[in-house]
A = this chain, B = another copy of it.
Amino acid sequence: MTSQPPTERPDPGSVRAPSIVIVNTGDGKGKSTAAFGTMLRAVARGWRVSVVQFLKSGEWKVGEEEVARRLGVDWWAIGDGFTWDADDISESEAIAREAWRFAKGVIEGGEYQLVILDEITYPMNWGWIDTAEVVETLRSRPEHVNVILTGRDAPPELVEVADTVTEMRKVRHAYDRGVMARRGIDY
């Protein structure tokens, strides 16, 4: 199926907001990764950027953190935070609350043009962080502070307060149907 290339420039929109709230949600890949991609643009503009990680991510975000720090981004990670051991859940909850207390101060302080609250929806959905308080903090933030929030199952109140909401949806295809991942037939 062939479509036609556009011959008119897309409508650039008519309103320029001083800042926006972005939510990346859904069960697919790319929620945090897109936030970190946006971070690149912010850094290129000379913005101050702060990242607050709400879940301990294991190894896979160490690289992003290292490069972000290299680019001058302030990165607050839960060092020994969330674990999968049920015995430590109460401690994990306390650490998530502490992360939010810190993040709230970062937003309200107004020193950063971009604040990324990575995987914040999980502690919100588990009742560890008060969603109404997050929403109120976003609504009353300094007008130049852009905020990106990531994680599955974004609460409706959060979707409502956001300017841009994207659902990263996992697309089903052949490789999902087998138990084992399988590559193409040619290698």
Contact = CB atoms under 8 A, between A and B. Distances in A.
Contacts of A165: 170-171, 173
A173 B160 contact: yes
Given A29-B166, A125-B2, A64 B40 contact: yes
Number of copies: 2
A62 B167 CA distance: 26
B85 A7 contact: yes
Interface residues of A, number: 83
Interface stretch (A65-73, A97-105, A106-114): A65-73
Contact of A181 (B6, B13, B68): B13
22 contacts: A2-B125, A7-B84, A7-B89, A17-B181, A22-B29, A24-B30, A29-B34, A29-B166, A30-B34, A30-B37, A33-B33, A37-B64, A40-B68, A43-B67, A44-B63, A67-B71, A139-B186, A162-B173, A163-B183, A166-B169, A167-B168, A168-B168
Interface of A: 1-9, 13-15, 17, 22, 24-26, 28-30, 32-45, 60, 62-64, 66-68, 70-71, 84-86, 89, 92, 122, 125-127, 138-141, 143, 153, 155, 159-171, 173-175, 180-187
